Amino acid sequence: MKKNYLMKMVGAMLLATTASLTAVKAEAWKFGVISDTQWVSADDGKSPGSVPAYIIQQINSAFISQGVKMVIAVGDTIDSASTASLQIRALYTQDLYNAGIGFYPVRGNHEISTSVNSAVAFGTLFPQLLGGYNNNTPSTITTTTIQNIWTANSYDTVASLSNTLANFPPPTKTNSNTFTVSSNFSYPTTNGSNLNGSLTWGGLSTSFDYKEARFILIDQFSSTSSSTTSQVSDEQSWITGRLSDSSRPLHAFLFSHKNILGGEHKDNLFGGQIGSDAGDGSSGSTTTLSARQTAVDAFISAMYNNNARYLITGHDHHHKHSVVMSPKNSSSFIEQIISASDSNKFYTPTSPFSSNEVSSDEDLYEVGYYIYTVDGPRVTVDYYAVPANPTSGQVSKSPVLTGNWAKMLTFGYALNGQTFRIAKSGTYTSISDTTDKAVTNTASYAETGYVGSSFQILNGTNNSTRTTNDGRALTKAINTGWSPKTSDTVSDIAYIWGLAELGGSKTDTIKVALTFPTTGITDATSVYLATKDPVSGLWVNAVDFNQSGSTKAFSSVDYTLSPSTLGSYGVDLNNGVAWAVVNNDNRQYAVISTATTTKVPGDLNNDGKVDASDLAILQAAIKAGSTSSTYDLNGDGKVNSADSRWLILHYSK
Amino acid sequence: MKTIKKMALVLVALAGLMAPGIASADSLLTLGLTPATSTVSWNSTITLTLSISGLTLTSYSDRSLGGYDITLDYDSSYLSVASVTYGSSVSLGNSDAYQSYDSSTAGALYLSEIASGTNSDLHAVQGNGFTIATITFNVLSSTGSTSVSIDSSSDASDGNSNSMTINSTTGATINVVPEPSTYALLVVAVLFAGVGARKRFSRAA
């Protein structure tokens, strides 16, 4: 059966070879997500006016070094709703503006209060929400004016605030120019009168475009007085319109503060309390979405029908990635990403949970941030975190994050790929994909040059024992995707996300296979299945990244008869299949010719010469602790400074 | 008296290991930080010297250091990296030599140099040992003791691109004491407390 499947793909390859061999690929770009920047405890000298300034600065520093184009804050940008706190939050955004990075916040329940019109304050402090003009915080807002407001309103700890603003001041404005990130702004107009004064929804719920993505920021609150109501139903026609717009960019990302299905919180994006409201059918540890199923179905269906994958939220002070299905139609679903806490408080999920949710992963009690990388039709999400608290509750001192970040998880999707859910103990063999979809949509994805390939996992089982905190088994959300053949590959490039688990890069042992055009290839040892080294960007044998217990062994037998022991790899020229048995979270696979990888010893970037650029690649690999034989230039079995010395002694003359 | 003699012997031995240019037959390849112990005050800086010794071997007389990747481990609650200054005995001043350091990870300073000169040129300059770099740290803590050590992942290459075994490493201990002005404040505070107590005692009486 598997053989037939892959053989069909060889036929598909021949059809696709008529496509141009010149790949056109847009440059990848990134945006960051920060969530729930609240300081609840007494000011520790770095957290003025309920704003965790030190945490924010460290995360902003990470965003800057990661090279993001913009940052989305998914609500609760402060803890205590006050004009002064909102102003403090705005001032501690300046380091992003100084680096030319856009910042777009959405309100959460902590911005809502009878004592402050945060709707007006948001539009004033973050004027970019009204047209994209960043770095335009009103110059009249200074630490002095903030302290005056604080004093005039007799807020607590005036002295503490003054000291903190003096000793830990907001970043100085070094970039005097306003700049625009994104375009095509849009706002819902229905029920505009629900907001105070003359404001419409503009500046609160906001949508805009940047390159291949449309951003839709949803403010569910209509007034200054209620933090538990929802106006999302009133906004749904605008949301649906923005999603179904024929001129929409490839991706659509939706952001809100509250979740469809939270963990600790049962208040939600659609109002009310899940599990408590009449009609929810709560029974023991489970509940349904019955009380709000019409609104939820309209929202999820609009996303699903228009190929919008991610709803990115906050509110729950822990990381959670799950699939949420419509309560009316389980075949309609989205992925909900609850963003980790950037606060000093951390929550534990509690029952009842909903059967409409399938959990992929969960991470508690860590401060975290997210980098979303958009690469044409492909999106990769990297979640970074630092442990902050051993249990639920609050910390009293700002954690040191810089230098301690760890990449905890990577997941993603491609619009030209497929989505699979592999439950605990399930087999991975259902994971298979072809370039048909990518080739069919060549024009809209702006990528050409496919030769036609097929990717499949030939064996392997989800042996994960991880569960949610409440003991529910996790289901792997696995996505595949494609990019066209490049000058250094023989096949198209296959992508896969979702195999690894929180905090690790080791996966279950799986056998992966990729088809390739065999024209002109007569020696099975002249090609192999490779993966891209994330450090150097070079293609290396896929089994070279295997972790513990791997024995490298080549085979040229029929791929259906090939061994499944870790480290085995081979090429079946009769069927045009290269395969490898791996256990590392390799993101990309391609078939590579040895002829293109052994041109000049030490020429790590394959540009035909050995020079400082190769040394830079090697040094990065050494620093990252690589043990790949690609870098063992002096052949002593180690990757270290002796290889660097070897390389510099072999510079091209 | 005996103790003093013993200490003197240890110092002589250490000097033999660490002093640049002093040949020592088949000595062990050692990376070391000096001064081994120092006392500094809060908000000041401390400069440590990273040296290598033991390059000269009777069986292989022209061994040199052709490159290294060295990580210094320190407690980031006590210290932060202020600056790194490389010596010239690896680069030999050549523009195509590689020099890099990375202090972005708190608690771990990564240093690397790769020589571009010939092995004989390197050996002529390096002898048995030399100063690799001087590193200045900011002192962040007001009091206590901390150490800087050479991470076991560090590696070294000879001039012919062979991996060299680093036989031993020696770290540095830094004792942090309050600034003199802090002591003065303490004394004043104690005096005031004393005067206050005396006054209260007088009134009670």
- Residue pLDDT, tens place only, A569-584: 999 999 999 999 999 9
Q: Domain of B158?
A: 23-196
User: pLDDT-derived band of residue A442, with 50, 70 and 90 as boundaries?
Assistant: confident
pLDDT (mean) for A626-645: 88
Pick from A623, A636, A641: CB nearest B114 = A641
pLDDT of residue A33: 98
Residue B204 covered by a domain: no
**Angle value at C-alpha A481, between A480 and A482, nearest 5 degrees:** 145
Domains: count for chain A: 3
Choice between A403 and A412, residue whose per-residue pLDDT is larger: A412
**B19 vs B168, residue with greater confidence:** B168
Q: What is the CATH number of the domain that holds A344?
A: 3.60.21.10
CB-CB contact of A31 with A211 (8 Å):
no
Confirm whether B34 is domain-assigned: yes
Burial class (CB in 10 A: 0-12, 13-18, 19+), A549: exposed
Ordered alpha helix ranges (H), A153-231: 158-167
End-to-end CA distance of chain B: 56
Q: Is the pLDDT of residue A15 over 70?
A: no
- Nearest CA to A462 out of A503, A430, A494 is that of A430
pLDDT at A155 > cutoff 90: no
Closest Cα in chain B to A61: B104
**CB neighbours of A309 closer than 8 A, spacing ≥ 6?**
A251, A303, A334, A335, A379, A413
Q: Which residue of A has its CA nearest to B161?
A: A642
Enter the tokens of residue A228.
């538990």
**Where a domain ends, among A387, A413, A439?**
A413
pLDDT attached to residue A473 = 95
Q: Kindly indicate the confidence band of residue A160, based on its pLDDT and cuts at 50, 70 and 90.
A: confident
| Whether residue A512 has pLDDT greater than 60 | yes
Question: Are A607 and A560 contained in the same domain?
Answer: no
As beta bridge partners, residue A267 has: A273
Q: Are A104 and A126 in contact (CB under 8 A)?
A: yes
Provide mean pLDDT across the span A587-610.
Answer: 79
DSSP 8-class letter at A630 = G
Name the amino acid, one letter, at A484. P
Strands A70-73, A29-34: pairing is parallel
In which band, very low, low, confident or very high, does the pLDDT at A407 lie, cut at 50, 70 and 90? very high
Q: Which two tokens mark B185?
A: 């404040």
B80-97 pLDDT per residue, tens: 999 999 999 999 999 889
Chain A residue nearest residue B69, CA to CA:
A641
SS3 B16: helix
**Kind plus residue range of the DSSP H or E element containing B65:** strand B65-74
Compute the nearest-CA separation of A41 from chain B (Å). 22
Distance CA B126, CA B92 (A): 10
CB < 8 Å & 24+ apart, contacts of A159-165: A160/A42, A160/A43, A160/A48, A161/A43, A161/A48, A161/A49, A163/A45, A164/A43, A164/A45, A164/A46, A164/A47, A164/A48, A164/A53, A165/A48, A165/A88
Q: Coil, helix or strand for B160? A: coil
Structural contact between residues A491 and A591, judged by C-beta atoms closer than 8 angstroms: yes
Q: In whole angstroms, what is the distance from residue A204 CA to residue A220 CA? A: 9
DSSP β-ladder status, A378-387 and A366-375: antiparallel
pLDDT number for residue A120: 77
Nearest CA among B70, B62, B110, B117 for reference residue B89:
B117
Main-chain phi, psi angles of A97, to 5 degrees: -60, -40
How far, in whole angstroms, is CA B12 from its chain's centroid?
Answer: 19
Q: Which percentage of chain A shows pLDDT scores above 70?
A: 91
Query: A208 is in which domain, residue-wise?
Result: 29-375+378-413
| Position A29 pLDDT exceeds 90 | yes
Residue A603 has a pLDDT of 84
Whether residues A575 and A616 share a domain: the answer is no
- For position B98, which CATH number holds? 2.60.40.680
The two tokens of residue A201 are 């929804």
Give the three-state DSSP class for A23: coil
> Is this model's pTM higher than 0.90 or not?
no
Is residue A6 domain-shared with residue A92, that is, in the same domain?
no
- The token duo for B98 is 């590689």
* Closest residue on chain A to B68 (Cα): A641
What distances in angstroms separate CA A540 from CA A66, A443, A488, A548, one per listed residue?
Answer: 25, 31, 12, 18
Confidence of residue B165 (pLDDT cuts 50, 70, 90): confident
Which positions in chain B touch A634 (Cβ < 8 Å)?
A: 161-163
Say yes or no: A383 and A476 in one domain.
Answer: no
Max intra-chain CA distance, chain A: 83
Stretch (H or E) spanning A102? strand A102-105
A102 and A223 belong to one structural domain:
yes
Strands A353-354 and A286-287: parallel
Contacts of A640 in chain B (CB under 8 A): 69, 155, 157, 163
Give mean pLDDT, residues B98-110. Answer: 91
B132 is a domain residue: yes
Contact A346, A282 (CB under 8 A): no
Q: Which residues pair with A603 in a beta bridge?
A: none
Task: Give the pLDDT score at B126.
Answer: 93
H-type alpha helices, A129-211: 143-152, 158-167
How far apart are the C-alpha atoms of A298 and A240, rounded to whole Å?
9
Distance of residue A596 Cα from the nearest chain B Cα, in angstroms:
26
CA A268, CA A166: separation in Å to the nearest integer? 38
Amino acid A174: pLDDT:
94
Flag whether B2 is in a domain.
no
Whether residues A307 and A242 fall in one domain: yes
CB contact under 8 A, A640 and B161: no
Q: What is the CATH number of the domain that holds A637?
A: 1.10.1330.10
Q: State residue B202's pLDDT score.
A: 43
Which pLDDT value is given to residue B179?
Answer: 66
Looking at every residue in chain A, the average pLDDT score rounds to 88
Q: Residue A146 pLDDT more than 80?
A: yes
Residue A25: what pLDDT? 56
Give pLDDT, residue B13. Answer: 42
User: Out of B69, B76, B98, whose CB is closest to A615?
Assistant: B98
What CA–CA distance (Å, rounded) separates A407 from A624? 13
Q: A113 with A239, same domain?
A: yes
ipTM of the complex: 0.76
Q: B129 and chain A: CB distance < 8 Å anywhere?
A: no
- Per-residue pLDDT tens over the stretch A453-498: 999 999 999 999 999 998 999 999 999 999 999 988 999 999 999 9
Cross-chain residue pair B158–A642, CB shorter than 8 Å? yes
Q: How far apart are CA A457 and CA A453, in angstroms?
A: 14
Instruction: Please give the pLDDT value at position A19.
Output: 38
Cross-chain residue pair B161–A625, CB shorter than 8 Å? no
- Give the per-residue pLDDT at A202: 62
Distant-in-sequence, close-in-space partners of B187: CB < 8 Å, separation ≥ 6: none
Tell which of A641, A643, A652 to mutate to test the B interface (max B CBs under 10 Å). A641
In a domain, B102, yes or no: yes
Q: Are A19 and A453 in contact (CB under 8 A)?
A: no
Tokens 């229905």 correspond to A190
Angstroms from B172 CA to nearest CA on chain A: 22
Q: What is the pLDDT of residue A2?
A: 42
- pLDDT at residue A73 greater than cutoff 50: yes
For position A397, what pLDDT does the model report?
Answer: 92
Residue A50 in contact with residue A78, Cβ under 8 Å? yes
Q: How confident is the model at residue A225 (pLDDT cuts 50, 70, 90)?
A: low
Half-sphere exposure of A110 (CA within 13 A, CB side): 24
Residue A538's pLDDT band (boundaries 50, 70, 90)?
confident
Rounded to the nearest integer, the mean pLDDT of chain B is 79
Q: For residue A559, what pLDDT is reported?
A: 95
Chain A residue with minimum CA distance to B109? A403
Burial label for B82, CB within 10 Å (0-12, 13-18, 19+), is middle
Query: Residue B110's closest chain A neighbor by CA?
Result: A623
Question: Whole-angstrom Cα distance, residue B172 to residue A167?
Answer: 32
Tell me the per-residue pLDDT of A97-145, one tens digit each, with 9 for 90 and over: 999 999 999 999 998 877 777 777 888 899 998 888 999 999 999 999 8
On whether any CB of chain A is under 8 Å from the CB of B161, the answer is yes
Q: Which two tokens stand for residue A379?
A: 């999106």
Query: Helix, strand, or coil here: B80?
Result: strand
Which residues of chain A approach chain B closer than 8 Å at the C-beta? 65, 400, 402-404, 612, 615, 619, 622-623, 625, 633-634, 636, 638, 640-646, 648-649, 651
Picking from A623, A625, A641, the nearest residue to B67 by CB comes out as A641
Q: How far apart are CA B202 and CA B205, in angstroms?
A: 5
Task: Find the mean pLDDT for residues A53-71.
Answer: 96
Beta-carbon contacts below 8 Å between A and B:
87
pLDDT band, residue A596 (cuts 50/70/90) = low
Nearest to A640 among B77, B98, B155 (CB): B155
Sign, CA torsion A266/A267/A268/A271: positive
B98 contacts A619? CB cut-off 8 A? yes
Is residue B152 pLDDT above 50, yes or no? yes
Put simply, whether B122 touches A (Cβ < 8 Å) is no
Which of B 79-118 lie inside 8 A of A, CB atoms? 96-98, 100, 102, 104-108, 110, 112, 114-116
Alpha helices of A67-188 — where are they, by DSSP H? 83-91, 94-98, 118-125, 143-152, 158-167
Nearest residue of chain B to residue A647 (CA atoms): B161
Banded pLDDT at A381 (limits 50, 70, 90):
very high
Give yes or no for residue A297 having a pLDDT over 50: yes
- Residue B6 counted as domain residue: no
Binned at pLDDT 50, 70 and 90, residue B145 comes out as: very high
Backbone angles phi, psi at A651, to 5 degrees: -55, 145
Name residues whose C-beta falls within 8 Å of residue A442's C-beta, 6 or more positions apart in sequence. Answer: A19, A448, A450
State the smallest CA–CA distance between residue A550 and chain B in angstroms: 23
Distance CA A394, CA A399 (A): 12
A391 CA: distance to closest CA in chain B (Å) = 23
Q: Is the pLDDT of residue A600 over 80?
A: no
How many domains in chain B?
1
| Distance, CA of A509 to CA of A459 (rounded, Å) | 8
Query: Which of A642, A648, A651 minimises the CB distance to B163?
Result: A642
* Nearest C-alpha in A relative to B117: A649
Under DSSP, the state recorded for A232 is: H
- Asked whether residue A331 falls in the same domain as residue A466, the answer is no
The count of residues in chain A is: 653
DSSP symbols for A38-74 = ---SS--SS-GGG--HHHHHHHHHHHHHHT-SEEEE-
CB atoms closer than 10 angstroms to residue A29: 17
* Residue B188, token pair as written in the block: 């004043």
pLDDT at A394 over 60: yes
Is there a single domain that holds both residue A170 and residue A123? yes
Is B3 inside any structural domain? no
Q: Which amino acid is at B1?
A: M
> Does the beta-carbon distance from A623 to B115 stay under 8 Å?
no
β-pair partners for B31: B52, B169
> Which residue in A153, A145, A36, A156 sits closest to A87, CA to CA?
A145
pLDDT digits (tens, 9 = 90+) for A185-197: 998 875 444 443 3
Q: Which of A9-23, A604-618, B3-17, B54-68 has the highest mean pLDDT?
A: A604-618
Nearest-by-Cβ selection for B106 from A402, A615, A636: A402
pLDDT for A320 beyond 90: yes
Three-state SS string over A367-386 comes to EEEEEEEEECCEEEEEEEEE
Based on the fold, state whether residues A295 and A146 are members of the same structural domain. yes
Q: Are residues A244 and A335 in the same domain?
A: yes
Phi, psi of B181 (to 5 degrees): -65, -30
The dihedrals phi and psi of A311, each to the nearest 5 degrees, come to -105, 120
Query: Residue A483: which of A442, A523, A513, A522 has the closest Cα?
Result: A442
pLDDT tens for residues B48-91? 999 999 888 765 566 899 999 999 999 998 999 999 999 999 99
pLDDT given for residue B199 in this prediction: 47
Same domain, A474 and A619: no
